Amino acid sequence: MTGPEQAAAGGAKPARVIEIAGLNKWFGDFHALKDIDLTVRKGERIVICGPSGSGKSTLIRCVNHLERHEEGDIIVNGVTLRGDKGSVNAVRGEVGMVFQQFNLFPHLTVLENCALAPMFARKMPRREAEALAMTRLERVRIPEQARKYPLQLSGGQQQRVAIARALCLRPSIMLFDEPTSALDPEMIKEVLDVMVELAEEGMTMLCVTHEMGFARQVADRVVFMDQGEIVEQAAPEIFFSNPRYDRTRAFLSQIL
Amino acid sequence: MAETHAETALIFQPKPARPAPAAASGPVAWMRRNLFSDVPNALMTLLGGYILFVVVGAVLDWAVFGAVWSAESRRECLDAVGRAGACWPGVAEWLPNMIYGLYPKELVWRVNLGFLTLLLWIAPLFMPRVVSKVNIGVSAVLLFPFLASYWFHGGEMGLLWRVFVAAGIWGFVWVWATALSEQFAGRPIGQTLLAALGAEDAADADQRRILRIAAALLYVAALALTLAWRLEEVGTRLWGGLFLTLVISGIGITFSLPAGILLALGRRSDMPVISMLSTAFIELFRSVPLITILFMFNTMMPLFMPEGTDVNQLLRAIVAVCFFAAAYMAEVIRGGLQAIPRGQYEAASSLGLGYWRSTQLIVMPQALRIMIPAIVGNFIGLFKDTTLVSIIGLFDLMSMARAVGEDTKWLGLFIEPFFVVAMIYFVFCFAMSSYSIGLEKKLAQGRDRG
Ligand SMILES: Nc1ncnc2c1ncn2[C@@H]1O[C@H](COP(=O)(O)OP(=O)(O)OP(=O)(O)O)[C@@H](O)[C@H]1O
Ligand SMILES: [Mg+2]
């Protein structure tokens, strides 16, 4: 964002890195996202929650174009997603994604999983890519597992590898789609700890999760979705203590 | 919470692990456990043993103990043992033909040398410290055939053929240079070469230029070599026997895998024209028996060709076999592709890998690995199906075996040559199948839990 716009947005506020306006998305006849508007500023941590099927995954998957949207604008770091190769690649280079099911590549070692994208999407020499991968594995505290294959690791370790893999592209934005939902309770914490650290380092994060403790601790804003719409969004202390809509209250009473 | 517990918490002491109880070992224990564990099991063991004894005994009686090992004609065999024993001299006399067809006897060494080249080409795959195994394997598939084509056929080389034969020579030298460098120096051939030239510390760009020049020089040398290389022509009409079977099925097998991959990808493509064309090709060739395809290509291809171009009969058969095999392989590979979860594609896309990159690095390695048994099964089927080329007049192993019994000296001698053919097919197919099992085990190591 340039000077005047920033000033208009309120002076010292950081730049907007994701701008979603009037987003609509259909699966066949099913209207999955309805008139979504959402702005994320640099360094902001957004937690998205809502009942199953409300469109949370669809929304964040639109941000890196894993889903194609039919209507509306998505602008990431100044690049408007239009579905053409150029804009999609530009956006994917800026946005890392972590999936519920990890989606590690089972035929490659942990190190290869991480070094793959730098080598082949960024044309980095192998040695450099592996060195980079090691630094990211250290960051998620599993450098000693580098030579193992993903299926030899526990779920929590696999998810941390997935985070390291996404970090290897040096993204400025991270998307998390229920990163802890497939994990046993004992492993949830080790993944959340890594995410909290990332948040503290100033990473811009969009995170679909039902871990309300995490939301309270790190989120700048909680977004509540239902039936393809954003019902309300607020800072966590307001969201949890004083939600405006009945729907939100009902949802919170179920999960808290 | 704390008030519900006792003052001091009990300390949990994990028990030390102890080794699993030793199972009784030794052959007797093993037999008792596996063969005679209870009455039905013991009965089945005895029954199975009896059947094995009778069958193997009968075969051995016929093929070894009651067989005639030297005779001048089938008559002599019949006089000696009747039909109770095999008559091997006829097979022995025809064995060279069963292996090489009508290939001139004094030139048969070229065929042997051609296959020896193949063995040498893939030998580095079995060297433990060689890391460029994929490249070596690919080069064997892509470059060896050119070299082999000249060993087998010989004759006048046109410009185009010369260019390819030189590529074959280049590949062979590269494979062994790579293998030796990696096996004994533990580094890629490029580094060894740079070290030998004292250019280890040159800038990256310079190093790359040096390597490129070295590769080009090697190619020029190979080209010069082809100028000096002159072999007598042996037309494909003279090719036959096991040699011909190996040529047809070898080409069919190596063609079917890449072509099948492309067809399978094409069928799943988002682009309607490509997907329609691939589907049409696959369904067309899958719904027609191979024998019909062979006939069609044999009789109809010349009709479509411009006047005067003579497409060699062997080539027609090979093209037919290749198309047929590719169509089948495509469906096998598509099965493998369908087994790859969508998350794998999504993860690859989210990392910025494009379609071809994710296909090459993520999807295909997994799909092929899942489908190894089916792919090798296809190879084996193809290898055996090539016997059908005998009906369009090519003298493959099968037709050579039939020719033995049509020789006036050995008139009616059919069972023995077919027995030998069966053994040959068995050896090849069993080798392929064992290799695939070995490969599966090796790939499974460490990649799965448990
Ligand atoms: N590929 C698809 N084709 C058709 N419908 C889909 C597809 N993906 C999602 N949907 C539908 O869109 C709606 C929103 O799905 P989405 O996965 O975004 O929900 P969610 O909020 O992430 O739910 P959950 O908490 O269960 O993950 C659901 O009703 C789902 O059935
Ligand atoms: Mg979801």
CB contact under 8 A, A149 and B447: yes
Model confidence band, residue A1 (pLDDT cutoffs 50, 70, 90): very low
Co-location of B427 and B310 in the same domain: yes
Nearest to B343 among A93, A99, A116 (CB): A99
Q: Average pLDDT of chain A?
A: 91
Co-location of B352 and B382 in the same domain: yes
pLDDT at A8 over 50: no
Co-location of B83 and B197 in the same domain: no
pLDDT in tens, A161-182: 999 999 999 999 999 999 999 9
Contact B98, B400 (CB under 8 A): yes
Gap between the Cα atoms of B427 and B419, Å rounded? 12
Nearest to A66 among B349, B362, B449 (CB): B349
- CB atoms under 10 Å from CB of B303, counted, come to 6
* Strand-strand pairing, A45-49 and A204-208: parallel
Model confidence band, residue B22 (pLDDT cutoffs 50, 70, 90): confident
Give the model's pLDDT for residue B35. 85
The answer to whether residue B19 sits within a structural domain is: no
Lowest average pLDDT, out of A190-204, B292-306, B333-347, B365-379, goes to B292-306
CB contact under 8 A, A92 and B343: no
Give the model's pLDDT for residue A4. 44
- Relative to the alpha carbon of A56, which ligand is closest? 1
Ligand 1 pocket check for A209: Cβ under 6 Å: no
- DSSP structure class, residue A182: T
Which helix or strand (DSSP H or E) is residue B110 part of?
A: helix B108-122
Final residue before a domain boundary, out of B233, B257, B286: B233
Nearest alpha-carbon partner for B145 in B174, B115, B120:
B115
Co-location of B259 and B295 in the same domain: yes
Question: What interface predicted TM-score (ipTM) does this complex get?
Answer: 0.91
Burial environment of residue B232 by CB neighbours within 10 A (0 to 12, 13 to 18, 19 or more)? exposed
Question: What value, to the nearest 5°, has the Cα angle with vertex A137 and ends A132 and A139?
Answer: 100
Co-location of B352 and B410 in the same domain: yes
Mean pLDDT of the B312-340 span:
93
Give the model's pLDDT for residue B30. 84
pLDDT at B447 over 70: no
The answer to whether residue B17 sits within a structural domain is: no
Mean pLDDT of the A112-132 span:
94
Co-location of B271 and B377 in the same domain: yes
CB contact under 8 A, B446 and A149: yes
The answer to whether residue B156 sits within a structural domain is: yes
Q: How far apart are the first and last CA of chain A?
A: 38
Give the model's pLDDT for residue B25. 73
Dihedral angle over CA of B205, B209, B211, B217, nearest 10: 180
All residues of chain A having their beta carbon less than 8 Å from the beta carbon of residue B357 are: 120-121
pLDDT at B56 over 80: yes
The answer to whether residue B8 sits within a structural domain is: no
Give the model's pLDDT for residue B310. 66
Co-location of B318 and B368 in the same domain: yes
Per CB distance under 8 Å, which residues of B are interface residues toward A? 341, 343-344, 346-354, 357, 361-362, 365-366, 369, 446-449
Domains present along chain A, CATH in parentheses: 16-254 (3.40.50.300)
Co-location of B169 and B290 in the same domain: no
Final residue before a domain boundary, out of B183, B211, B233: B233
CATH number of the domain where residue B290 is located: 1.10.3720.10
Q: How many helices (H) and strands (E) does chain B have?
A: 20, 2
Give the model's pLDDT for residue B449. 43
The answer to whether residue B13 sits within a structural domain is: no
pLDDT in tens, B107-149: 999 999 999 999 999 999 998 888 888 899 999 988 999 999 9
User: What percent of chain A has pLDDT above 70?
Assistant: 95
Final residue before a domain boundary, out of B233, B253, B281: B233
Gap between the Cα atoms of B169 and B225, Å rounded? 9
- CB atoms under 10 Å from CB of B358, counted, come to 23
The alpha-helical segments, DSSP class H, found in B198-312 are 204-228, 241-267, 272-286, 290-304
Model confidence band, residue B26 (pLDDT cutoffs 50, 70, 90): confident
The first and second tokens of residue B355, run together, are 């379609």
Model confidence band, residue A6 (pLDDT cutoffs 50, 70, 90): very low
Give the model's pLDDT for residue B18. 83
Determine the structural domain holding residue B48 and report its residue range. 26-65
Mean pLDDT of the B30-57 span:
90
The answer to whether residue B21 sits within a structural domain is: no
Give the model's pLDDT for residue A11. 55
The label of the residue with tokens 């004083």 reads A242
Q: Nearest chain B Cα to A168, which residue?
A: B351
All residues of chain B having their beta carbon less than 8 Å from the beta carbon of residue A146 are: none
pLDDT in tens, B178-219: 999 999 988 888 888 888 888 888 888 888 899 999 999 999
Co-location of B187 and B244 in the same domain: no
The answer to whether residue B43 sits within a structural domain is: yes
Contact A200, A193 (CB under 8 A): no
User: What percent of chain B has pLDDT above 90?
Assistant: 60
Nearest alpha-carbon partner for A118 in A100, A133, A107:
A133
Ligand 1 pocket check for A99: Cβ under 6 Å: no
Model confidence band, residue A2 (pLDDT cutoffs 50, 70, 90): very low
Question: How far A236 CA lies from chain B's nearest CA (Å)?
Answer: 27
Co-location of B318 and B215 in the same domain: no
Lowest average pLDDT, out of A42-56, A216-230, B13-27, goes to B13-27
The answer to whether residue B285 sits within a structural domain is: yes
Contact A46, A17 (CB under 8 A): no
Tell me the C-alpha to C-alpha distance, in Å, between residue A30 and each of A34, A53, A227, A251.
11, 12, 11, 23
Instruction: Enumerate the β-bridge partners of residue A208.
Output: A48, A177
Q: How many domains does chain B have?
A: 3
Contact B243, B164 (CB under 8 A): no
Q: Which pTM was predicted?
A: 0.85
pLDDT at B6 over 70: no
Co-location of B258 and B368 in the same domain: yes
CB contact under 8 A, B449 and A151: yes
Q: Is B375 helix (H, G, I), strand (E, B) or coil?
A: helix
Q: What are the backbone dihedrals phi and psi of residue B368, each rounded to the nearest 5 degrees, phi first?
A: -65, -40
Q: How far apart are the first and last CA of chain B?
A: 40
Co-location of B188 and B271 in the same domain: no
CB contact under 8 A, A105 and B346: no
Radius of gyration of chain B (CA): 29
All residues of chain B having their beta carbon less than 8 Å from the beta carbon of residue A92 are: 349-352
